Amino acid sequence: MEVVRQGSTFDVCVIGSGPAGGFMAKELTEAGAKVLLLEAGAEVPPDQFAAHRWPYEFPLRGTHAERQGKFYPDAIAKHIAFKGDAVSVDRIRVLGGRSTHWNAVCLRFAEDDFREGSIHGLEPDWPLTYQEIAPLYSYVERIIGLVGTREHLAALPDGEFYGPPPKMRCAETLTRKAGRALGIPVIPVRKAMLHRRSAPGRLPCHFCGHCMQGCEVGAIFTSTNTLLPLARATGNLTLRTNALVRRIETNTEGRATGVTFVDRTTREDHTVSARIVVVSCGAVESPRLLLNSAATRFPNGLANSSDLVGRYLTGHAIAQFHGYVKPLMGHPPRNEDGATDHAIIPRFRAIKAGRGYVGGFGAQLQYASRDYPHHARHLPGYGAAFKKRVRELQPALMQMGGYAKVLARRENRVTVDPAQQDQHSIPIPRVDFTWCDNDRALWTDMRATLEEIYHVTGTELLIRDEQPTGFASHETGTCRMGTDPKASVLNPFCQSHDIPNLFVVDGSAFVTFPEKNPTLTIMALAVRAARYITEARRTGDL
């Protein structure tokens, strides 16, 4: 923990140290700003990750709470309320944010993904184009280290790949063959991982398959192994962990003046001053913080004159399949651990109406670790015959997760509930969400289409989702950007329309959300916002 001198005023206070806050801190400190980075979670070094521990090493055999508990302290999952259809949201509390145990699949949004309003008319266009964001994608891709192959697809633009991804394994190769027969492309994954090369603080992948439990060697890009060291090296960063921001302070002139945070270890409150405040807490916690920062001048919360803070919550509708590819059943055991998914299905259908819905879907293949038969608990039987069956089936396991677009709708929202507070007396977030007809129609088509691949590969299905689930840790849209202050919270540079020295830089800023994973775009928006702040500081506008 670093000491924050009382009375000092920072140029910028960044709240949250995930990929968004990490890029903000790196870019701003490199441009000479004195940055205070406040992170609610603790630092959990890689040697404390539980990725390589076997189930029998845990009292409860390695539940999510046992493996990931350090990333989600204070029973945070309980301090939230939900209404409507069953969905889950991800609110991590650790230095590095969710990049600490993410899967690092990085997909550029396509040209059409920024102009869905012009295409189908149900949502607005983004106030920026693919051409504007493309150089920022390139810049981010070079820093994070991205593998991939050039495919020349309009729906999934190629990135700046430093090398090829790991080869597809048997089940992925058979799926690609089946996809060809159905006209469905199956291409190599695009992932921010080091493969046959290293970087400062990062070693090459050893294909253990535990990417989503935390990569101990740093082959997977994280904010902590790449961005924060670069920010620290400037000498301009002050980092404080366990600092949960309770509210953003504002003055009577309508400007942000700093923040008040509670130290989670001592439970003491501290107030610090900053000329600019950047909120990078994720699409649930960012609106929560803005709404909890209401003041006399801003009775409905900060940046909320449009009443849009928290609205237009969206994410991905998921359909999961587990099955056994018959030609691979009974094969001798072989090492197929890999780096989780080595293949993806990019969107191959137009986002226009025509199949009874608008939007598209894609999929990831073999996304869970392969060294342990997670599927065995779904099989009937026991004893020696059961074990023999599990062994026979393990080489044939084929997992697929489909990700479908969800329409951004006003009524799907995050609010705060002053009547319910967490252990620090901070009102908890409440998520109101329902699927609409379009979401369900798209999801149903996605499930039927992906299931077809299983039929063609001759796969025995073990698990198939019967209802859409959301959001795969891909929440977005709760402080949307735009050019009209009445119809948006932020301008195209993630700056609040209402409070000029307040920025919200994370998935909250998304206007619409296609079927692609969000984080590459979140990081590109962060670089864009940081460059805007740097220029505004230079000209004296901020």
Ligand X SMILES: Cc1cc2nc3c(=O)[nH]c(=O)nc-3n(C[C@H](O)[C@H](O)[C@H](O)COP(=O)(O)OP(=O)(O)OC[C@H]3O[C@@H](n4cnc5c(N)ncnc54)[C@H](O)[C@@H]3O)c2cc1C
**Which member of 136, 174, 187, 193 binds ligand SF4 (CB under 6 A)?**
193
The answer to the question of residue 219 lying near ligand SF4 (CB under 6 A) is: yes
The residue range among 101-109, 127-135, 378-386, 484-492 that interacts with ligand X, by the rule CB under 6 A, is 101-109
- C-alpha span between 168 and 159 (Å, rounded): 20
Taking each helix axis from N to C end, the angle separating 130-144 and 519-539, rounded to the nearest 10 degrees, works out to 100
Task: Write phi, then psi, for 172 (nearest 5 degrees).
Answer: -70, -35
Binders of ligand X in range 285-304 (CB under 6 A) = 285, 289
Q: Residue 453's binding partner, choosing from ligand SF4, ligand X, none, with beta-carbon cut-off 5 to 8 A by kind?
A: none
Asked if 344 interacts with ligand X (CB under 6 A), we say no
Closest separation in Å from C-beta 91 to ligand X: 7
Question: Nearest approach, Cβ of 38 to ligand X (angstroms)?
Answer: 5
How far apart, in Å, are the Cα atoms of 424 and each of 74, 245, 249, 408?
Answer: 10, 11, 18, 32
Q: Which does 139 bind (CB under 5 to 8 A by kind): ligand X, ligand SF4, none?
A: none
Interface region with ligand X, contact rule CB under 6 A, candidates 9-17, 179-187, 198-206, 228-236 = 9-17
- Name the DSSP class of 403: E
Asked if residue 38 binds ligand X (CB under 6 A), the reply is yes
Q: Show the site string, 495-534: x = touches ligand X by CB under 6 A, - = not.
A: -----------xx---------xxx--x------------
Which residue of 4, 14, 21, 25 would you call a contact of ligand X, by CB under 6 A? 21
- Please report which residue ranges of 160-213 form alpha helices under DSSP H: 170-182
Contact 124, 511 (CB under 8 A): yes
Near ligand SF4 by CB under 6 A: residue from 168, 211, 278, 400: 211
Which of 10, 74, 127, 33 lies closest to 423, judged by CA? 74
d(C-alpha 211, C-alpha 196), whole Å = 16
How far apart are the C-alpha atoms of 440 and 522, rounded to whole Å? 26
> Binding to ligand X by residue 179, rule CB under 6 A?
no
Residue 209 interacts with ligand SF4 (CB under 6 A): yes or no: yes
CA torsion, ordered 137, 140, 143, 149, to nearest 10 deg: -30
CB-CB contact of 30 with 534 (8 Å): no
Q: Smallest distance, Å, CB 245 to ligand X?
A: 4
Give dist(CA 518, CA 316) in Å, integer: 10
Interface positions, 328-387, toward ligand SF4 (CB under 6 A): 339
Q: Please, which residue, 338 or 395, has the CB nearer to ligand X?
A: 338
Residue 15's binding partner out of ligand SF4, ligand X, none, with CB under 5 to 8 Å set by partner kind: ligand X
Instruction: Please pick, from the candidates 43, 207, 371, 451, the single residue that binds ligand SF4 as defined by CB under 6 A.
Output: 207
DSSP string, 78-131: GS-EEEES--------BTTGGGGG---B--PPPGGGG-HHHHHSSSPPPSS-HH
Strand pairing class (81-84; 427-433):
parallel
Contact of residue 217 among ligand SF4, ligand X, none (CB under 5-8 Å per partner type): ligand SF4
3-state SS class at 142: helix
Minimum separation from the CB atom of position 146 to ligand X (A): 12
- Provide, rounded to whole angstroms, the least separation between the CB of residue 285 and ligand SF4: 26
Residues that bind ligand SF4 (CB under 6 A): 193, 205-211, 215, 217, 219-220, 339
Residues that bind ligand X (CB under 6 A): 15-21, 38-41, 90, 92-94, 97-99, 101-105, 212, 244-245, 280-282, 285, 289, 473-474, 506-507, 517-519, 522
